[in-house]
Amino acid sequence: MIAEFTRAMSGELDFVREAGSTTKIAGNFTDVPYVKIPKVYWQYSTARVLTLEHIAGVPSSDREAMIRIGLSPPLLVERGLSMFLQMVFVDGLFHGDLHPGNILALPDNHIGVLDFGMVVRISRTTREHLAGLLVALVEEDFERMVQHFIELSDPASDFSYEDFQYDIANAVAPFVGLRLKAIRSGGVLWDLAKIAARHGVPLPQELIVFLKTLVSFEGVGIRLDPDFDLIRTCEKFTVEIVRGIYSPDNVKQNMMVIARDVTSLLRLAPLQLRRLLKAALDGQLRLNMSSDEIGRVAKALDRSSSRLAVSIIIAALLVGSSILTYARAGQEFWHLPLFGLVGFSLAGVLGFYVVWSVLRGGRM
């Protein structure tokens, strides 16, 4: 999350980039009449100066002012969420900082959006699994939720499917179907993200920004329409998005992509196989294996061999010292040959060290 915000803040300092994002998203909403995005005046814009069309409207936090001029706060909230979900699920390019200061209420219940310094791209695959995740959340299909979480992330090696599903069910089940005024739906989504991270299934950075933006929008929804149900409204749009994902046109497009990849694989496979066989015949084929278990076994063998070597040295000292003692060779100390006494002492010290290292389970 820190890395994503660092990248986004660095991007906000480049006004040419922000101008390009503003123009791109404005183009995505050409056919949506109730969304107003300021025009960029490129001739007056540089990397340090951004010149935009002025948009006059009511701040999205001022519900009373909206009502005074005849606007409908519930309709504005629904349209705002529809706009955001289109950015995420249809366009794959969304505004990552939709706080109340960046959203304006315009005449005829239109919406003005400002400040496109933080714009996040989201891949088609991620969009599909995120849409499926939201639908599964509303339908209380916890098994499908876990599957989408796994597809969105790279689970850790000690990941437990059953434990994860159990925690997800306990976190979500009490709140599904309640209205926004009864429970913060964004808080539930944050809880899911934290549970996923705790189980070794962290969400991608772009989805962290998505959740942050959704929680910010939830704050706007609470001010404008206390009866607005964020999750249920998301369901209405995501169901349509999921249907679009599996429409005949999209399925046909995905099949064409798969066919292209398979064709490329078939074209390159003979060459790769020929190289592999040549390397094997020339004796140059090498296999690199990496495993934590192999490393632990190697360390255990290393400790065992070290202890065995020290034990052999101890045995040699004992035998040699015994011979010197029996032969009474050299100077004596305490009626024992000096070299024999030194040998017995060293053998005793090394023997104590071997026993101590075995008992504590350490290495030599």
Q: Which amino acid is at 244?
A: G
Q: 336 versus 132: which is more confidently predicted?
A: 132
- DSSP-based three-state secondary structure for 261: helix
Instruction: Provide mean pLDDT across the span 250-278.
Output: 70
CA dihedral 276, 281, 282, 283 (to 10 degrees): 90
Is the pLDDT reported for residue 180 higher than 50? no
- Average pLDDT of the chain is 77
Instruction: Provide mean pLDDT across the span 113-135.
Output: 84
Note the pTM of the prediction, 2 decimals: 0.62
Is the pLDDT reported for residue 50 higher than 70? yes
Read off the pLDDT band of 287 (50, 70, 90). low
Is the pLDDT reported for residue 177 higher than 70? no
Q: Residue 288's pLDDT is what?
A: 65
Read off the pLDDT band of 34 (50, 70, 90). very high
C-alpha to C-alpha distance for 337 and 342, rounded to whole angstroms: 9
Is the pLDDT reported for residue 252 higher than 50? yes
Q: 306 versus 129: which is more confidently predicted?
A: 129
C-alpha to C-alpha distance for 8 and 97, rounded to whole angstroms: 10
- DSSP-based three-state secondary structure for 246: coil
